[in-house]
């Protein structure tokens, strides 16, 4: 599965990707970058870019429409939050969320094991808002996303991940380039933050 593939206009090198499923949560940059993702087999990947319930190859995907408050980008139209159920693990992907979660959104994400959450501000929630959402959902693992990295070109500046880490108060010292987890590996008591290398 690939979530939110990006286009060349953001200034970053687009990796070669292959997947059975592609989810698109928002349209900040290019309307649809899913064409950058090839299918694992000869079939094209299944694209999910709308709310609803989907089951593809034993993966359950729940797309939840989320309103947006962002005033910086007048072309922004939507954001979708995804809850993914894979191999007994529940993952929440907040896409380009730009507001603190409403009660209905919190209910649909309760019990997620892994939370992928934007932290860069400007286009999305910032580190302080992300910290509030994390305390509401209480996931076991948090993976920050949508923050400033070298080479990123956006119309408006966003924060680096260290701003979130300072607000949250607990981040690893090192970034990792790959993260693999099974249900039995999930932390049982302490929340763990994983910073992935770009």
Considering only residues 34 and 176, tell me which one the structure prediction assigns the higher pLDDT: 176
Judge whether 12 lies within some domain.
no
Q: How confident is the model at residue 170 (pLDDT cuts 50, 70, 90)?
A: confident
Judge whether 1 lies within some domain.
no
Judge whether 44 lies within some domain.
no
Between strands 59-66 and 79-86, the pairing is antiparallel
CA dist 146 and 95 (Å) reads 9
pTM assigned to the model: 0.88
CATH number, domain containing residue 91: 3.60.15.10
Judge whether 189 lies within some domain.
yes
CA dist 101 and 120 (Å) reads 16
- Residue 48's CB: how many other CB atoms inside 10 A? 22
Strand partners of residue 179:
none
Taken in order 147, 151, 155, 159, is the CA torsion positive or negative? Answer: positive
Judge whether 134 lies within some domain.
yes
Are the beta carbons of 186 and 140 closer than 8 angstroms?
yes
Instruction: Provide mean pLDDT across the span 93-102.
Output: 92
Tens-place pLDDT, residues 54-77? 999 999 999 999 876 655 555 545
Tens-place pLDDT, residues 113-159? 999 999 999 989 999 999 999 999 999 999 999 999 888 888 889 99
Tens-place pLDDT, residues 21-56? 999 898 655 445 556 677 777 788 899 999 999 999
Determine the structural domain holding residue 144 and report its residue range.
49-193
Judge whether 181 lies within some domain.
yes
pLDDT of residue 31: 44
Instruction: Provide mean pLDDT across the span 81-97.
Output: 95
Q: Convert the chain into a string of H (helix), E (strand) and C (coil).
A: CEECCCCHHHCCCCCCEEECEEECCECCCCCCCHHHEEECCCCCCEEECCCEEEEECCEEEEEEEECCCCCCCCCCCCEEEEEEEECCEEEEECCCCCCCCCHHHHHHHCCCCEEEEECCCCCCCCHHHHHHHHHHHCCCEEEEECCCCCCCCCCCCCCCHHHHHHHHCCCCCCCECCCCCCHHHCCCCCCEECCECC
Judge whether 93 lies within some domain.
yes
The number of domains in the chain is: 1
Are the beta carbons of 112 and 91 closer than 8 angstroms?
yes
Q: How confident is the model at residue 107 (pLDDT cuts 50, 70, 90)?
A: very high
Judge whether 18 lies within some domain.
no
């Amino acid at each position: 599965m690939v979530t939110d593939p990006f286009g060349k206009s953001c200034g970053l090198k687009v990796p070669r990707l292959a997947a059975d499923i592609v989810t698109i949560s928002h349209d900040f940059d290019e309307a649809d970058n899913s064409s950058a993702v090839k299918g694992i087999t000869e079939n094209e990947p299944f694209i999910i870019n709308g709310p609803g319930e989907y089951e593809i190859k034993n993966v359950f995907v729940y797309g939840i429409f989320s309103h947006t408050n962002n005033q910086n980008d007048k072309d922004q139209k939507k954001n979708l939050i995804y809850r993914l159920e894979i191999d007994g693990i529940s993952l929440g992907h907040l896409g380009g969320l730009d507001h603190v979660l409403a009660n209905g959104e919190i209910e649909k994400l309760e019990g997620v094991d892994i939370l992928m959450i934007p932290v860069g501000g400007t286009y999305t929630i910032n580190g302080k808002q992300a910290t509030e959402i994390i305390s509401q959902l209480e996931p076991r693992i948090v993976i920050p996303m949508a923050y400033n990295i070298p080479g990123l070109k956006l119309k408006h500046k966003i924060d680096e991940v260290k701003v979130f880490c300072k607000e949250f108060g607990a981040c690893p010292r090192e970034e990792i380039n790959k993260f693999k987890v099974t249900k039995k590996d999930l932390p049982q008591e302490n929340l763990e933050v994983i910073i992935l290398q770009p």
